[in-house]
Amino acid sequence: MQPFTIHPETSLGPVRLMVADLKRSLEFYSGLLGMQATPRGDGTVGVGAGETTLLLLAEQPGAQPKPPQATGLYHVALLLPSRPDLGRMIQRFAETRYPLSGASDHLVSEALYLNDPDGNGLEIYADRPRETWVYAHNQVRMVVDPLDIDDILGEIADDSTRWSGMPIGSRVGHVHLQVHDLPSSEAFYCGVLGFDVVARYGPGALFVSAGGYHHHLGLNTWAGVGAPPPPTDAAGLGYLTIQLPNRVARDAVVARAHEAGVASKEIAHGILVRDPAQNGILISSPT
């Protein structure tokens, strides 16, 4: 195949999550995280901020959490508009005493980590200004350092604005996937779809993006090289959405997938394909 670069204005759209109990999930996403819930005609419920749908929740009664030694979702990362918004989110978790699984400074961003009731991983983060990101040899420098929570809370020390739900302007910033093999995953996401490699983290993780972002997709083999897909009745990833800015850009990516022999299916809002680890990918555009 000829070299190809995905449109630089590519972003991520809604992530479809399979959940065991829709009511329980809405208590988490709407009650705790303050997302607005919108029932959809297909039986799913969209949750998001303002006009932006972040997640599509689809109930699969009795679904069990994804086995740890399987491919699938590692986490969905929700990007907040600002550092003060992250401070208010920290206050929210402190007030509700909801347990976090981690908190890290990645140089390019500052992040909180937690799990939803089905064990789906979530990251809630704020980017540092893009001009502060450090690149060398076309690779962005990212680390895993402790998060300075007190410094973030200092951003809102004199601010009377309290947490009032998921802030308007929040969006899906990136998605981190567990895959069975990095070479085949790189060949798919970069060689076929046209993303750029922006970082490698040891022998087991790879980060790719469009338009110079620090990463739109993380790919890791931490579940084990050769890990199988999760059971079809497991909770977890239904699909993530790669959002192209227009139909021409979308069709170019779809054509690449067809040229590479990737099976596809047209569904509402786009073309569904699967990566080599069988993770669902919806290729979409607003028009």
pLDDT of residue 287: 79
DSSP state of 269: T
> Which tokens hold the place of 188?
């798919």
CA 115 – CA 235 distance, rounded (Å): 13
**What is 77-141 written as a DSSP string?**
EEEPS-HHHHHHHHHHHHHHTPPPSEEEE-SSEEEEEEE-TT--EEEEEEEPPGGG--EETTEE-
pLDDT of residue 42: 85
Closest by Cα among 34, 24, 99 to 57: 24
pLDDT of residue 71: 98
How much is the average pLDDT of 173-198? 98
How much is the average pLDDT of 243-260? 98
Whether the model clears a pTM of 0.85, i.e. scores above it, the answer is yes
DSSP state of 234: B
Q: Is the pLDDT assigned to residue 178 strictly greater than 80? A: yes
What domains are there in the chain, each with its CATH number?
Answer: 11-284 (3.10.180.10)
Q: Is the pLDDT assigned to residue 138 strictly greater than 90? A: no
pLDDT of residue 41: 80
> Considering the chain, what is the average pLDDT of its residues?
97
pLDDT of residue 25: 98
Q: Is the pLDDT assigned to residue 161 strictly greater than 90? A: no
Distant-in-sequence, close-in-space partners of 215: CB < 8 Å, separation ≥ 6? 140, 142, 174, 198, 199, 207, 208, 209
Each residue of 198-228: pLDDT tens digit? 999 989 999 999 999 999 999 999 999 999 9
Which pLDDT band holds residue 153 (cuts at 50, 70, 90)? very high
> Which tokens hold the place of 190?
């970069």
